[in-house]
């Protein structure tokens, strides 16, 4: 009886040893196969780079690259503003400009590289735009416009490839200051009618009504500041 039991134990041990050896062999063979390393997740480089303040010459070069000779910096107006106005991480520039003499037809050409917009126009009017996405807003000889050039890459609006640009009416009233959208959100205290902010904003007034110009994702629009909010510190 003891002999049979011992034989059974030995048989069981042998079976376990064979199974372990077979498994180790399979794993060993698998380990010999080369495994290409998994590519590490590559994050795009940040575009938000602190650039030096622009010089008047750089602003004029940026305007000329985007708008040709159709506009020029407005006489007696403030210097341009820089900020990330469309929220893509690249620095943009916004400069008050006037139409160049004899260039109205070119400025209002529907096939031009820029879009003419009115910040006071109802944003819902976008739904009724023609197929080419252009509004019926046109530049007038006496207009004071806000020329906005969206930036490209780490050099922002200074990059030669920065060609997305806009001419915006009713967007240059005082105080004409660029502010971070986070600062504005604290100011308006997240009111229910707060617009969707995509980037930095530009504080401008419409007559005596303070407000700000912001990027909606498709256009620049003006919005009044709530009357019950506290003033923003300069």
The phi, psi pair for 37, rounded to 5°, reads: -65, 145
pLDDT of residue 13: 52
The percent of residues in the chain predicted with pLDDT above 90, rounded, is 50
Distances in whole angstroms, Cα of residue 209 to Cα of each of 52, 80, 118, 202, 204: 32, 22, 17, 14, 9
Give the model's pLDDT for residue 33: 39
Look up the pTM and report it. Answer: 0.71
Bigger pLDDT: 8 vs 110? 110
Q: Which residues contact 107 (CB under 8 A, 6 or more apart)?
A: 70, 71, 99, 116, 139, 167
**Which pLDDT score, from 0 to 100, does residue 213 have?**
93
Q: At residue 212, does pLDDT exceed 50?
A: yes
pLDDT band at 32 (very low <50, low <70, confident <90, very high): very low
- Taken in order 128, 71, 75, 160, is the CA torsion positive or negative? positive
Q: Lowest mean pLDDT: which of 106-110, 115-119, 186-190?
A: 186-190
Q: Cis peptide before 128, with omega less than 30 degrees from 0? A: no
Instruction: Locate the DSSP E strands across 2-127.
Output: 71-73, 81-83, 92-99, 114-118
Mean confidence (pLDDT) of the chain: 78
What is the bridge-based pairing of β-strands 165-169 and 114-118? parallel
Mean pLDDT of 179-204: 75
Band (pLDDT 50/70/90 cuts) for residue 39 is very low
From the CA atom positions of the chain, what is the Rg in Å? 32
pLDDT surpasses 60 at 5: no
Judged by average pLDDT, the poorest of 96-105, 164-173, 180-189 is: 180-189
| 141/127 Cα distance (integer angstroms) | 28
């Amino acid at each position: 009886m003891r002999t049979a039991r011992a034989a059974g134990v030995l048989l069981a041990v042998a079976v376990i040893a064979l199974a372990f050896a077979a498994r180790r062999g399979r794993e060993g063979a698998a380990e010999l196969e080369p495994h290409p390393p998994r590519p590490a997740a590559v994050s795009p480089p940040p575009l938000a780079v602190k650039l030096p303040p622009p010089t008047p010459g750089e602003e004029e070069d940026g305007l000329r690259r985007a708008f040709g000779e159709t506009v020029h910096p407005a006489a007696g107006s403030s210097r341009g503003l820089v900020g990330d106005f469309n929220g893509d991480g690249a620095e943009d520039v916004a400069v008050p400009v006037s139409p160049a003499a004899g260039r109205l037809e070119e400025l209002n050409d529907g096939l031009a590289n820029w879009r003419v917009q009115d910040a006071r126009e109802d944003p819902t009017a976008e739904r009724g735009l023609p197929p080419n996405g252009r509004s019926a807003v046109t530049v007038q000889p006496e207009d004071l416009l806000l020329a906005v050039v969206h930036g490209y890459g780490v050099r922002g609006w200074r990059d030669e490839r920065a060609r997305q640009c806009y001419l915006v009416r009713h967007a240059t009233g005082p105080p004409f200051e660029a502010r971070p959208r986070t600062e504005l959100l604290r100011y308006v205290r997240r009111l229910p009618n707060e617009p969707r902010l995509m980037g930095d904003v530009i504080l401008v007034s419409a007559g005596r009504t303070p407000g700000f110009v912001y990027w909606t994702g498709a256009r620049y629009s003006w919005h009044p500041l709530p009357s019950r909010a506290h003033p923003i510190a300069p």
